[in-house]
Chains A and B, each alone.
Chain A
């Protein structure tokens, strides 16, 4: 069972839960498990085509899964997955 850390931004979709336990062999399966438990999570985490929202980064340990196999990245047992929102802005 992996633990998924949910950023404050997305917690309204997980009924306030900051950490959600979810089973799955891949990042996609684990996050889909979160969405199955909290249906609102899918809308804020995934695009319609099933890809991750552009403003989110998902880490397995220190590794950004976009630089691994994306949603197909294998997840070890008891892994910690961290979802981070992009920090961006600027004067213009």
Chain B
């Protein structure tokens, strides 16, 4: 993950706290992340998120206009660890997506981790942050 994408999702998570932040991450044909779309959390809640569908469709169209695709959804756990909760697992509907979680239990040391979630099975996919 390029550093600017990493920084964007961490900053979105910090600015939304104490509520959860959420958004989408686009990737290019090679699978590398290209852009974070920082979207509204319709729940405006510290413990749940629902991605704004209007932002979702705009991100989809923008990404596809650039030859990208939406590869990941991210959200934050403002007071918790970067691991999927039971709710995250139960509501993970898209098996193609990487589910990225920003844990802000230690706000000065955010943790960003990615997971594949399909059929209740969770597999971590390491995120490598690349310097710009």
Residues in A lying within 8 Å of B, measured CB to CB: 7-9, 55, 57, 59, 62, 64, 82, 84-92
6 contacts between A and B (CB under 8 A): A64-B54, A84-B53, A85-B93, A89-B99, A90-B87, A92-B47
Residues in B lying within 8 Å of A, measured CB to CB: 20, 22, 24, 43, 45-51, 53-54, 56-58, 60-61, 73, 75, 77-80, 84-85, 87-88, 90-96, 99
Expressed in whole angstroms, the minimum distance between the Cβ of B65 and any Cβ of chain A is: 12
Task: Establish whether residues B58 and A62, one from each chain, have CB atoms under 8 Å apart when the complex forms.
Answer: yes
Expressed in whole angstroms, the minimum distance between the Cβ of B74 and any Cβ of chain A is: 10
A57 to B95, CA, bound (A): 17
Expressed in whole angstroms, the minimum distance between the Cβ of B113 and any Cβ of chain A is: 14
Contact of B77 among A7, A9, A55, A91 (CB under 8 A): A91
Expressed in whole angstroms, the minimum distance between the Cβ of B41 and any Cβ of chain A is: 9
Q: Residues of A contacting B90 with CB < 8 Å?
A: 89
Contact of A91 among B20, B56, B57, B94 (CB under 8 A): B20
Task: Establish whether residues B49 and A90, one from each chain, have CB atoms under 8 Å apart when the complex forms.
Answer: yes
Q: Residues of A contacting B49 with CB < 8 Å?
A: 88-90
Expressed in whole angstroms, the minimum distance between the Cβ of A57 and any Cβ of chain B is: 4
